[in-house]
Amino acid sequence: MTKFQHGLDFGDPHDGLTQDDIVEARTKNQISPPVTWIKGFLSPKQQQLLINEVNHYPLERVSIQVYGKQHLTPRTQAWFGDPGCDYHYSKLHITALAWPKVLSRLRAKLLNDHQIDTNSVLVNRYADGHDCMGWHSDDEPEIVSGSAIASVTLGACRDFVVRHKQTKTKVNFALASGDLLIMHPGMQQHWQHALPKRLKVVEPRINFTFRQIIPNYYR
């Protein structure tokens, strides 16, 4: 089997991924989302280092406007990035916080291992299976055209569901702790994704969604 060498590891050494750990999405009717699922991207020790750091993040529920009404997000979140890489959605402006130490190492690992260059990340924490994310695409105008978006999962295994915008074809990914899902160019234009409620899940899930955005886009 082919070994995929890892660089800039933090925590304990990783033996590398085998081809069996790399999953390309496929559906019966050949309408497939442009994603790559990499199982076990982070080792258990690397995961724990991140979890320990996340416990000190200023995570909060924010109020967003949905169909003209204000609602608190069913999850807590924080936004980190380079200077000028602020986040806008649902009429909110969120100023980027400076990169924490371990999160910065994860950013470097994505670049070194998979050539995914990013300058910002949204951290979402789902307390249990009641917390969720509705259908949407990460297609904000400040995101660099043609760039990939990388999603790293920690904690509880949750279903990450994608849906084609025209055919409504759905594909489910049961993302486990340490997994990486790379959403390639074309994904946001043609597909939506969601994290539905799973009431039997009692443990928290943490997700890091790394993006490349245009600095100072709204200034």
Tokens 């760039």 correspond to 147
User: Within its chain, how far is the Cα of 202 from the centroid?
Assistant: 21
Give the pLDDT of residue 89.
75
Residue 91 lies in a domain: yes
Number of domains comprising the chain: 1
- Sort strands 120-126 and 180-183 into parallel, antiparallel or unpaired: unpaired
Q: Given this model, what pLDDT does residue 184 score?
A: 96
On whether residue 198 sits in a domain, the answer given is: yes
Taking phi over 0 as left and psi of -120 to 50 as alpha, with beta for the rest, 216 belongs to: left
Residue 203 lies in a domain: yes
Which parts of the chain sit beneath pLDDT 50?
Answer: 1-8, 13-15, 27-29
Per the annotation, where are the binding residues for 2-oxoglutarate? 124, 126, 136, 193, 205, 209, 211
Q: Which residues are annotated as a binding site?
A: 87-89, 124, 126, 136, 139, 193, 205, 209, 211
Q: Which two tokens stand for residue 11?
A: 């925590």
With respect to residue 123, please indicate whether it lies within any of the assigned structural domains: yes
* pTM for the predicted model, two decimal places: 0.87
Provide the annotated binding site for substrate.
Answer: 87-89, 139
CATH number at residue 196: 2.60.120.590
Distances (CA, A) of 44 to 61, 126, 149: 28, 20, 23
26-46, pLDDT tens digit by residue? Answer: 544 457 999 999 999 999 999
d(C-alpha 105, C-alpha 102), whole Å? 5
Which residues share a beta bridge with 191? 164
- The domain containing residue 110 runs over which residues? 19-211
